Amino acid sequence: MSHQKLMLPAIYLNKLDIKETELAIKIVKDTFERELAQNLRLQRVSAPLFVRPETGLNDDLNGVERPVQFDIADLGADVQIVHSLAKWKRLALQRYGFAPDTGLYTDMNAIRRDEELDNLHSVYVDQWDWEMVITDAERTLDTLKATVRKILFALRCTQDTLHQKFSFLRKVIPEDIYFITSQELEDRFPLLTPKQREDAIAKQYGAVCIMQIGGKLKSGQKHDGRAPDYDDWQLNGDILIWYPVLDRAIEISSMGIRVNAESLTRQLKEACCEDRCSLPFHKMLLDGRLPLTMGGGIGQSRICMLLLEKAHIGEVQASVWPDEMIQQCEANGIHLL
C-alpha cells in the first residue's frame, strides 16, 4: 500500500498556509521558467498531451509502465497520454527549424498510472521539458556539465527571488554541484543500493549530478532504468539535491545528450528493442533527418517542494491519494491540496 511508503518527518513545520503556498508556487514557476529560458536560449512552444502510439513518440520510461490509452471517435483510432516529450521535442526542433545552441521548452503534463504514490511521486506529472540543438563536437560530458551548471544557476536565482518575499524559508540549493558517474558511485559505495548511494553522495555534497545511467555496471546491475532511444547512456545525467526536510536526496531533473544513429543502434540492441528501428521517429533518426540535440525534464512540483520546504508533493499540486495517506498526512500537519 502506498501509505506505507509515506515518509513522515519527526518534526514538521508547515511555514506557509494554503494561500501563501499558492502565491509562492506562482513565484517559483514564473521565475524559474524565465531564468531557464534565458540561460539556455530557449523559446516556449505548445506541446501535445497525447500522441498516436504507432508514431513511436511516446516515452517508454523503464519499459514496464502502461500508458493511459483512449479512442477518439472521429479519428477512428487510439491515442496515448504522453509519459514524457523526449522524442516529440527532437522532432519539433527539426520541424520548426531551430539552429544550433538554441532550443525550445514547454509545460509537460502527463499521467503515469503505474507510479507508486509517496512523498515524491504522483500520478500527475508536471515538468518543464526542454530540448536544444547541438553540434557533433558538443556531444561531450563537458557540454553536459556546463548545461547542468546553468540549470543550477537558474534554480539559485529562483531561490533568491522567492526569498525576497518569504525570507524565513531555508535555502536548499547550493552554490556548486558535484559530478560523478554511476560506475564511480558504485565503486565508492559497493555495499549500498543505488538509492542509498544517491542519498549518501547527495548528503555529502548538497547537489550532485550522477552521469552515465542506463547501461549495466560492473556488478551486472543498472543504477537505474533508461529507455534506449532518447538519452545516450554515456552522456546523460540525473540532478539530485539533498533535502533536509525528508533527510534524503530528491531528483529534480533527468537530462542528457540524445542518441545519434550509432548510439541508438547500440542501445536498441542491448535492450533487445531492435524492432523499434522501423518506427517513423527511429527511421528519421537513423537516416540522419533529425538534428543532434540535448534535453531533459525538470520537475515543477518537485522544485516547488524543495523551495517551499514541503514534505509531500501533494502540498504543491492537486492530485489523488489513498485515503490512508491523506489521513496520515493530516494527522502530521501535512495539508494536501
Q: Mean pLDDT over residues 159-182, rounded? A: 95
Q: Mean pLDDT over residues 243-260, rounded? A: 94
Q: Which of 159, 182, 254, 317 is the catalytic position? A: 254
CA distance 62 to 337: 29
Q: Which of 59, 126, 129, 199 is the catalytic position? A: 59
DSSP H helical ranges for 41-140: 86-96
- List beta partners, residue 178: 208
Position 1 pLDDT exceeds 60: no
Q: Among this protein's residues, is 59 annotated catalytic?
A: yes
What are the strands of the beta sheet with 248-258, ordered from one edge? 42-44, 103-111, 124-133, 293-299, 248-258, 231-243, 207-211, 178-181
Burial of 53 (0-12, 13-18, 19+ CB in 10 A): middle
Percent of the chain with pLDDT over 90: 66
Residue 16: what residue type?
A: L
* CA 72 to mean position of chain CA atoms: 29
CA distance 289 to 257: 17
Q: Mean pLDDT over residues 176-186, rounded? A: 97
Model confidence at 136, in pLDDT bands (50, 70, 90)? very high
Q: Among this protein's residues, is 254 annotated catalytic?
A: yes
pLDDT, one tens digit per residue, over 191-234 is 999 999 999 999 999 999 999 999 999 999 999 988 888 899 99
Task: Report the SS3 class of residue 67.
Answer: coil
pTM of the model: 0.90
- Containing 261, the helix (H) or strand (E) segment is helix 261-270
Task: Report the SS3 class of residue 82.
Answer: coil
What sign does the dihedral 258-135-37-45 (CA atoms) show?
negative
| DSSP label of 99 | P
pLDDT, one tens digit per residue, over 95-124 is 999 999 999 999 888 888 888 889 999 989
Q: Mean pLDDT over residues 309-324, rounded? A: 92
pLDDT, one tens digit per residue, over 30-86 is 999 999 999 999 999 998 888 888 777 776 665 677 888 888 888 888 888 887 788
CA nearest to 334, candidates 18, 4, 5, 61: 18
Asked if residues 291 and 101 have their Cβ atoms less than 8 Å apart, the reply is: no
Q: How many CB atoms lie within 10 A of CB 98?
A: 21
Angle at Cα 85 formed by Cα 227 and Cα 230, nearest 5°?
A: 30
pLDDT, one tens digit per residue, over 272-308 is 888 888 888 889 989 989 999 999 999 999 999 999 9
Position 167 pLDDT exceeds 60: yes
Position 94 pLDDT exceeds 70: yes
Q: How many CB atoms lie within 10 A of CB 128?
A: 23
Cell of 73: 471517435
Q: Among this protein's residues, is 238 annotated catalytic?
A: yes
Model confidence at 87, in pLDDT bands (50, 70, 90)? confident
Could you identify the residue written with the cell 552521469?
211
Q: Which of 112, 226, 248, 258 is the catalytic position? A: 112
Q: Which of 131, 238, 309, 315 is the catalytic position? A: 238
Q: Among this protein's residues, is 84 annotated catalytic?
A: no
Q: Among this protein's residues, is 74 annotated catalytic?
A: no
CA distance 75 to 161: 46
Q: Which of 80, 84, 122, 127 is the catalytic position? A: 127
**Given this model, what pLDDT does residue 3 score?**
46
